[in-house]
């Protein structure tokens, strides 16, 4: 398992950050039209959302990534046509992480030195997390109201930024933003600024928590009525004073690198070890045949549940699967070997192959010890997530249509990224972790270049709805000017 990222190192060595900047006027073509805002008024722009709005990247919020959040990028382009100042709740440094009265409550960022993601402190040594929610919160109001971890209904919740409610019912990132009004909601603080234009990208966490916990039930999907009420209230309130805006929908979480990086079959075994493991599972496999003979399971299920290893570099891991027929009365667990249809959460990469009992090679996780539900998304759980995203996106689309707002189909964009990659400027971005350019090292959030791609998509949607011409006038941003990874030495 220590060599699983060597291929990433080889690819990373071939990466380049060189970019080209096309200038239509230099090759004799017609000059571009002047930039216009159309019907949109960008004088007071407020962005609402979750971590994707805040600029969260590489597992945390840090200063350089915040400065390249997609709302910040948008505000810079809006300033060319009357947009005003854009303030963000900036953290103190580029280490990232959070503290509460000197005690760390969130870790510093992830980094890469050519291979897979590593904790910053594994590369440069111990650091002090200086952004402290009890000691040094910034002063608002803030135009960027992106709150990492927020679900749709959290944007309406009073007290969500009150430190007295932490950790049970308050968000540490929002605590940094509420100032002298700790019980004000995200929506209230946004409306207090009388926005003339807004962006809203919310709902990802309404399904993401379920996905990142492997669908084990500890973080359930938001129920549909709650989601519907939140979206309806957000959009009706944000537009109540005549503001125009742009809204994005929810990508399928199974399209993101967090779930597509770890293979289902990463276990290398020699012939002797494979034989020993098979001997250990012989009684279990024999029990399956008895269950088949007794009519408890079908031949197909017996075959799917049979565990067999071989001399190979690509043996499938063993997982728990609650969707299998319950054979506990026969003394048989609900386990099987994984297939390509199963998706593993990114942290499983560093767990598979470890020993449940240190020093005991007969307790290897994923081989002798089946992986628990939290490590894997079964096909049935993926179906649950897809159904919820489809339903949530229908709610978003209906609300956007009714209000006449601009719309970004983030779901289609991420599906394209996962299947063919996205061409942007001189680059083709893919969903590969570390090397793809779109996903940061946590596998969920975007790189700064990815946020630049998102900003361009938002501007295209604004053009289409309000008659602005960011794209036609050459005022989309050059994504090559934004980094994909930040040096471990950046402080």
Supply the pTM of this predicted model. Answer: 0.90
Q: pLDDT tens digits, residue range 302-338?
A: 999 999 999 999 999 999 999 999 999 999 999 999 9
And the tokens for 25? 């006027």
Mean pLDDT by 10 residues, the chain (491 residues): 38 37 52 96 98 98 98 98 97 97 97 94 97 96 98 98 97 98 98 98 97 95 98 98 98 91 95 94 97 97 97 96 96 97 95 93 92 96 97 98 98 91 88 94 96 97 98 96 95 90
φ, ψ for residue 200, nearest 5 deg = -140, 120
Closest CA to 270 of 307, 228, 313: 313
CB 406 within 8 Å of CB 246: yes
The per-residue pLDDT for 427 is 85
φ, ψ for residue 320, nearest 5 deg = -80, 145
Please classify residue 272 by burial: count the beta carbons closer than 10 Å to its beta carbon, then call 0-12 exposed, 13-18 middle and 19+ buried. Answer: exposed
**Helix 282-293 to helix 271-280 angle, to the nearest 10 degrees?**
50
User: How far is CA 108 from each of CA 96, 129, 359, rounded to the nearest angstrom?
Assistant: 4, 7, 30
Q: Give me the helices (H) in 167-204, please.
A: 172-178, 186-191
141: Cα within 13 Å, side-chain hemisphere? 18
User: How far is CA 251 from each of CA 38, 58, 268, 406, 423, rounded to the nearest angstrom?
Assistant: 29, 19, 34, 17, 18
The residue with tokens 């970019």 is: 19
CB 456 within 8 Å of CB 477: yes
Q: pLDDT tens digits, residue range 203-261?
A: 999 999 999 999 999 999 999 999 999 999 999 999 999 999 999 999 998 889 999 99
For the chain, which domains are there?
Answer: 31-260+380-481 (3.40.50.1110), 267-337+343-377 (no CATH)
Q: Sign of the CA dihedral 427, 431, 433, 439?
A: positive
How many residues in the chain?
491
């Amino acid at each position: 398992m220590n060599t699983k990222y060597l291929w990433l190192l080889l690819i990373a060595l071939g990466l380049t950050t060189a970019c080209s900047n096309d200038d239509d006027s230099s090759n004799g073509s017609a000059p571009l039209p002047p930039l216009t805002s159309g019907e949109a008024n960008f004088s007071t722009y407020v962005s609402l959302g979750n971590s994707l709005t805040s600029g969260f990247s590489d597992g945390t919020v840090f200063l350089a990534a915040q400065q390249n959040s997609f709302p910040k990028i948008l505000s810079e382009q809006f300033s060319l046509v009357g947009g005003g100042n854009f303030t963000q709740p900036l953290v103190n440094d580029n280490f990232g992480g959070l503290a509460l009265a000197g005690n760390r409550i969130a870790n510093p960022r992830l980094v890469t030195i050519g291979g897979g993601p590593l904790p910053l402190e594994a590369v440069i040594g111990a650091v002090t997390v200086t952004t402290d929610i009890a000691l040094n919160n910034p002063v608002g109001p803030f135009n960027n109201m992106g709150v990492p971890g927020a679900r749709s209904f959290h944007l309406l919740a009073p007290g969500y930024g009150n430190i007295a409610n932490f950790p049970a019912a308050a968000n540490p990132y929002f605590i940094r933003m509420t100032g002298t009004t700790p019980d004000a909601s995200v929506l209230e603080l946004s409306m207090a600024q009388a926005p003339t234009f807004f962006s809203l990208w919310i709902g990802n966490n309404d399904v993401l928590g379920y996905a990142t916990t492997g669908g084990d039930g500890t973080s359930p999907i938001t129920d549909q009525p709650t989601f519907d009420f939140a979206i309806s209230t957000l959009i009706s309130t944000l537009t109540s004073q005549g503001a125009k805006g742009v809204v994005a929908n929810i990508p399928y979480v199974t399209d993101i690198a967090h779930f597509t990086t770890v293979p289902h079959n990463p276990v290398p075994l020699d012939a002797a070890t494979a034989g020993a493991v098979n001997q250990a599972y012989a009684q279990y496999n024999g029990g399956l045949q008895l269950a088949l003979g007794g009519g408890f399971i079908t031949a197909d299920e017996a075959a799917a549940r049979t565990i067999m290893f071989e001399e190979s570099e690509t043996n499938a891991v063993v997982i728990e699967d609650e969707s299998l027929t319950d054979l506990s009365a026969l003394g048989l667990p609900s386990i099987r070997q994984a297939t390509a249809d199963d998706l593993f959460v990114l942290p499983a990469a560093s767990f598979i192959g470890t020993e449940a009992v240190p020093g005991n090679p007969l307790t290897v996780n994923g081989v002798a010890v089946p992986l628990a539900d939290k490590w894997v998304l079964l096909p049935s759980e993926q179906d649950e997530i897809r159904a919820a995203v489809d339903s949530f996106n229908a709610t978003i689309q209906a609300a956007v249509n009714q209000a006449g707002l601009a719309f970004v189909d983030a779901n289609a964009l991420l599906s394209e990224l996962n299947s063919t990659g996205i061409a942007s400027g001189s680059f083709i971005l893919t969903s590969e972790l570390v090397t793809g350019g779109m996903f940061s090292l946590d596998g969920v959030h975007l790189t700064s270049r990815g946020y630049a791609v998102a900003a361009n998509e938002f501007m295209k949607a604004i053009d289409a709805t309000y008659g602005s011409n960011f794209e036609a006038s050459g005022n989309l941003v050059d994504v090559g000017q934004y980094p994909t990874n930040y040096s471990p030495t950046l402080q």
